[in-house]
Amino acid sequence: MLLNHRYNPLFALALLLASTQAKAAWNIQSGVKYYITCAYQSGYVCPGSAEGSAYDVVYQTKYTSPPSSAYWYISKSGDAYTFENCETGEYLTWVDEYNQTSCKYLTLASSGTASEALWTITDGGGFQSIRSVAQPAYQFNLRKDSYMMGCYESQSTDANEQFHIYASDGAEIEYSTITVRVTSISIEAETTSLEAGEELQLTASVSPDDATDPSVVWSSSDEYVATISKTGLLTAHASGTTTVTATANDGGGVSASIEMTVSESSYLEHDDDMLYLRRSDSTVVVLPRSYVTTGTYSGSLFRATLADGGDYELKAVVDVETDTPEDIPSLRSYKFNNKYNSQVFTDAECEDVSGDTLRLEVAGIGKWLTASFQLGGEG
């Protein structure tokens, strides 16, 4: 049976896992400083204010190596990027109206959250084309033989529209297959405690959303206590604790775990007169409820405490029923031929019994006994 647990807390267990996912992207890294040059002439894209210029953004040509104002933090935002100047903290930003016509549509802003601060970087085959997300037809453009940077509507591949982005160590960015790691997996479980015989579905949600292989491998440290399927369905078998582990399916060995507790199932929360214990050899053992004070079924083992304080244990049990099985005959009366003769169970009606003699194994007061039966009618 699928667990319909009487407890209803929702445990969201954030478990860190990692899994390698591969896709094509720029190898731009967070926290690394980058500088931007143009293929047309040597120089660096810098904030004009940092260079003492009246223009917001300039192409500085007076340096033989990048000045501190030439470095930018490039951060990914969806399929686009922001460019934050490492010195001023300002962001390269598209602007609809700009009165400095020679540097039109390119300015700096204090925030990088608006779409105007987002840019796409396209591989041009040996160079990068940098375009506005707000106005995709417009791309970075250096006015030839000048320091004037702008953003112009153009589809050409002139050298003054071809740029190169380098990390501070001089390595140019590359567009290639890179490794993207899953940063976290959230496992949701209705509870971490269940009874033997119950099932519980564990679910895993993977971040980031674009991971192409979010699968994990489930395992249980003690399969006698509980087993778990490939889809995360946990089946409780016996009392105890087990550690359920989800391992990344990339072979890297990264994993996370959750501890589950299994308790024995109680079969005394009912008003039936009898318990019917079906065993693996197809026999059925009948326990009268009037002599059972506690009864638990764990895995293939049934344990009971009897009215006289004794303990009863039956192995190889495959099922416990409280309703009379169809293949068990009803008896009119029966008793034990030992010192417990005074303890006679309630009479039961016998129906459709063939043959002259019935023999049934029963258990009572902690002992195995052969019972004699008197049938209705001729007996």
Residue-wise pLDDT tens digits, 81-98: 999 999 999 999 988 766
Contacts by residues 314-321 (CB-CB < 8 Å, ≥ 24 positions apart): 314/277, 314/279, 314/285, 314/363, 316/279, 316/280, 316/281, 317/277, 317/278, 317/279, 317/280, 318/278, 318/279, 318/280, 319/277, 319/278, 320/267, 320/275, 320/276, 320/277, 320/278, 321/275, 321/276, 321/278
Confidence of residue 236 (pLDDT cuts 50, 70, 90): confident
Q: What is the pLDDT of residues 242-272, one digit of tens each?
A: 988 888 776 667 788 888 898 877 665 545 5
Q: Lowest-confidence range among 300-304, 323-327, 336-340, 370-374?
A: 336-340
More confidently predicted of 91 and 337: 91
String of DSSP letters for 52-101 = T-SSSEEEE-S-SS--GGG-EEEEEETTEEEEEETTT--EEEE-S--S-G
String of DSSP letters for 25-57 = EE---TT-EEEEEESSSS-EEEETGGGT-SSSE
Nearest by Cα to 217 from 185, 261, 260, 183 = 185
Q: Give yes or no for residue 70 having a pLDDT over 60.
A: yes
Confidence of residue 109 (pLDDT cuts 50, 70, 90): very high
Identify the pLDDT of residue 80.
Answer: 93
Most confident of 99-103, 199-203, 212-216: 199-203
Confidence of residue 22 (pLDDT cuts 50, 70, 90): low
**CB crowding 183-201: b at 16 or more within 10 Å, else e:** eebebebbbbebbbbbbbe
Identify the pLDDT of residue 2.
Answer: 41
Identify the pLDDT of residue 323.
Answer: 73
Give percent of the chain above pLDDT 70.
69
Nearest by Cα to 108 from 131, 142, 83 = 83
| Separation between Cα atoms, residue 262 and residue 195, nearest integer Å | 5
| Separation between Cα atoms, residue 328 and residue 245, nearest integer Å | 43
Identify the pLDDT of residue 363.
Answer: 45
Average pLDDT, the chain: 76
Burial degree of 291 (CB within 10 A; 0-12, 13-18, 19+): buried
**Phi and psi torsions of 196, nearest 5°:** -55, 135
Identify the pLDDT of residue 206.
Answer: 76
Looking at residues 3-28, what average pLDDT do you find? 50
